[in-house]
Amino acid sequence: MRQLFFLDLRCWFQQWSYGKVLILSAHSDDVYIEQMTGLGAAGFLLKQTSSHILAAAIREVYKGNAFFSRAIAKRLQGREGERLHNPAGP
């Protein structure tokens, strides 16, 4: 099911490349997040995110900034740091 959604989203990004996308998902595995951001998503939040944080994320993405939930941002920063230290890594 997620693979079908990913293909639909890829088509959407190709057709509406000027849009700003903030993903709200129950899935938080790194591969999924990287696929979404690789397609052009400006942010990624988990579904249990509070309405206050969701509103802040919408405002930031609207302004052209990226926005990730705190836990996801930490994981992505850690993975980016690993890539900088090991460019041949995964």
Q: 83 versus 36: which is more confidently predicted?
A: 36
- Residue 53 CB neighbour total at 10 angstroms: 14
pLDDT at 43: 92
Q: Which domains does the chain have, with CATH numbers?
A: 2-85 (3.40.50.2300)
Tokens 């942010």 sit on residue:
43
The per-residue pLDDT of the chain, averaged, comes to 78
- Is it the case that residue 90 has pLDDT exceeding 50? no
pLDDT tens, position by position, 18-57: 678 899 988 888 888 888 888 888 999 999 999 999 999 9
CA angle 47, 67, 77 (to 5 degrees): 100
CA angle 32, 33, 37 (to 5 degrees): 120
Q: What percent of the chain has pLDDT over 70?
A: 70
